[in-house]
Structure 1
């Protein structure tokens, strides 16, 4: 009986696709994320402000549009930011983070590799990426990012040079339901 069990386990492992248990390379993960990139979603955000020694929590939703990524905070205050190269009013911190954030959501690792060194771990359906700035303008503000997910980016953790931290949790949502319904789980 024990031999049969071992044989069944071995057959199951051998029949599994290597891509389901091997650490993905950047190109494979990029294609995987691009194929599942959400048009819309909800976010929960927790920001640690080191100089004030306080945490600020917020939530809202995002939507990819032709003119950029719309980032709408709904709680605790309402705020709307258009993350776009064409947005001249975008604060410098957002300008620096724009290619990072849009690259993460769309799986554009090539854009990210222009600004970061990348270390991938895990499996295609449960992966993690550690990104360390390789560009001086980014390194002045950000020490590193840790990103993880499955078919989509689910969490982004940023650590800033000034000691601040930002933790984002992302959940896909139907675009027509963004202004309605329960807050993200």
Structure 2
């Protein structure tokens, strides 16, 4: 009987890596692509290191042929189309646009061009740490921390200047979205 705990530890160590292995990136990509929301709501908190201030906003997003339409509804009403080809975006947004669309759609292949990705957890409760492996991205971002289950639910972006952006994403039907105008 006194050898049972030792035997159990050996058995768990032998089967442990297979039982607790991180999801395969191809399987996770397929999983996310299958369940990618066309529309959703977001809450974001941005820490501005230089000002030592936190800005909180919320709104909704919709994927369409233009890219990801990011509609902030509070505290201000603002619309941005996240698309790498959108020359009106500041350079930082141009770099983040393909990353964000890749995350939402499960396009890990696009993300692997810019990041080293470390996955953990399991398919229905996964986490990913993305560290830039491309100089243009590393100049702006130090890492992304992403987690979710069927879809991406949490995104944390850590910027090289000490700023941080935390997003919580919730799928929603496109018809339930509004522009935040109390009159609508």
TM-score category (smaller protein): 0.7 to 0.9
Give the Cα separation in 2 of the matches to 1:93 and 1:138: 9
Q: CA deviation at 1:84?
A: 1.6
| Residue 19 of structure 2 is aligned to residue 23 of structure 1 | no
Consecutive unaligned residues in structure 2, runs of 5 or more: 1-17
- Does residue 136 (structure 1) correspond to residue 135 (structure 2)? The answer is yes
Q: Which consecutive unaligned segments of at least 5 residues does structure 1 have?
A: 1-18
Q: How does 1:86-101 map to 2 (within 5 A)?
A: 86-101=85-100
**Cα separation, 1, equivalents of 2:89 and 2:179:** 27
Structure 1 residue matching 2:178: 3-state secondary structure: coil
- Residue 66 of structure 2: aligned partner: 67
Distance 2:35 2:19 in 1: 16
Give the ranges of 4+ consecutive aligned residues of structure 1 lying more than 2 Å apart after TM superposition.
19-22
SS at match of 2:88: coil
User: How high is the TM-score relative to the length of structure 2?
Assistant: 0.85
Contact kept in structure 1, 2:73 and 2:179, CA below 8 Å? no
Number of aligned residues? 163
Q: C-alpha distance in 2, partners of 1:137/1:86?
A: 16
Distance 1:150 1:46 in 2: 21
Q: Is the 8 A contact 2:142 2:159 kept in 1?
A: yes
Paired residue secondary structure (2:84): coil
